[in-house]
A and B are shown apart, each in its own frame.
Chain A
C-alpha cells in the first residue's frame, strides 16, 4: 500500500450513500449471524457458518473502502465486489445443486433468497457505481488528483 497524498475522492455521495447503508446492514447481518452460529452450533454446519463469516468480512471491507474513498480504495472495493459476486453465484449454485452440503442456510444460499436477493443485487449495483467513479472515467468526480474539497 503506497501512501497517497491526494485527497481521497468521495465514493459515498449520492447513490453511494445508499450502497453504504445496504452494505452496513449486510455487515451487521452476516457478522452477527455467523458469530452467533459459530459460537453456539458450529458443528452443525461448519461450511455454511464459515462462509457467512467470510461474507461478513468481505462486506465489512467494502463498506470501509466506500467510506474511505479515493482511487486505491475504489479499486480494492471493486475487486472485493467482484469476489462477492463470484461468491454469491458459486455458493448460490452450490446450494441449489447440492443442498446436503449445507444443513443450515448461509447469507449467500440460493443467491441470497433469504435476504430478498440483496446479496446478488448489491455487488452488481456496487460494481456499476464504482465503475462510474473511475478516476479516468466519465463519472461525476474529477481526475484522481482530488480537486474537490470534502466537507
Chain B
C-alpha cells in the first residue's frame, strides 16, 4: 500500500497520543483542539481506507490475505473516532488517557497494516 501514508498516519497517531497524554498529565479533559487533532488523524485513516480498497479493486493482493487487510483497515478507521466519543462521555483526564491509548492502538495497527500488505 502507500507506505508514506501508513507512516504519516502512524506518526500522526503517536503525536495525538502524546498530545492527549500531555493533557491527561495536566489533569485536563479533551478540548476542541484535541478533537480537531482526532479529526485530522481520522481523516488520514479514511484516506487510507479508500486507497486500500481502490488498490484491492485494481487487483493488487496483500501478502497476508485480503480479509485480514480489510479488517485492519476498518479497525484503523474506527479506532480514533471510538476513543473520541468515549472521551466525550468522560470529561476528565481519563477521557484524555483513553484518546491517548487510542492513538497508540492506531499506531500499532499501522505497523500491522504495513506487515500485512507485505511492505
Contacts and interface: CB of A to CB of B under 8 A. Distances in A.
A and B from one complex: yes
30 contacts: A12-B89, A12-B90, A13-B90, A13-B94, A14-B90, A14-B92, A14-B94, A15-B94, A15-B97, A17-B86, A17-B89, A17-B90, A17-B94, A17-B95, A18-B97, A18-B98, A18-B101, A21-B82, A21-B102, A22-B101, A24-B82, A25-B105, A28-B75, A32-B71, A32-B75, A36-B67, A36-B68, A36-B71, A40-B67, A116-B108
B14 interface: no
Main secondary structure of the interface of A (DSSP, over half): helix
Contacts of B94: 13-18
Interface residues of B, number: 19
A135 interface: no
A85 interface: no
Interface residues on A, range: 10 to 19
A91 interface: no
Contacts of A28: 75
B86 A21 contact: yes
